[in-house]
């Protein structure tokens, strides 16, 4: 049995960087495609507080948005930040969004159920934000 050593190649730093950049761009494109597919609803929201960037107990980066929709109904939505986004990018995205800012969110509704302290099943609908931007005009 002969070994084929032609497949073993030590990459140069430039080749490794190019490969990693290509993989990152492919992941970004896949994330954008998936988010576009999941964006079934568009809602205009006036924020009642500044968006809150935090981490979940499992370590996911999220941004919580709270406010009121066009009809004055309470709104709560969660934006799961892609893992490849840096903190500076998140800060730049959130910079123009203060209390009272009107934003347009695109995403989908997800039903969540759990048991409360009285062991009763409780359900709520949460908006999973895929895209968010300040309303223009």
Q: Mind listing the domains of the chain with CATH numbers?
A: 39-134 (2.40.50.140)
pLDDT in tens, 27-63: 999 999 999 999 999 999 999 999 999 999 999 999 9
H runs (alpha helix) in 12-77: 13-38
pTM of full prediction above 0.75: yes
pLDDT in tens, 77-97: 999 999 999 999 999 999 999
Which H or E run includes 111? Answer: strand 102-115
Residue position matching structure tokens 């709520």: 124
């Amino acid at each position: 049995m002969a070994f084929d050593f032609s497949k073993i190649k030590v990459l140069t730093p430039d080749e490794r960087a190019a490969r990693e950049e290509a993989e990152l761009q492919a992941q970004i494109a896949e994330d954008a495609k998936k988010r576009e597919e999941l964006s079934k609803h568009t809602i205009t929201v006036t924020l009642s507080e500044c968006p809150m960037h935090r981490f979940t107990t499992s370590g996911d980066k999220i941004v919580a948005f709270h406010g009121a929709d066009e009809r004055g109904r309470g709104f709560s939505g969660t934006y799961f930040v892609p893992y490849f986004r840096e903190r500076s990018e998140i800060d730049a995205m959130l910079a123009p969004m203060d209390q009272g800012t009107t934003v347009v969110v695109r995403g989908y509704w997800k039903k969540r159920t759990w048991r409360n302290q009285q062991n009763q099943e409780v359900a709520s609908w949460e908006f999973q934000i895929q895209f968010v931007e300040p309303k223009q005009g």
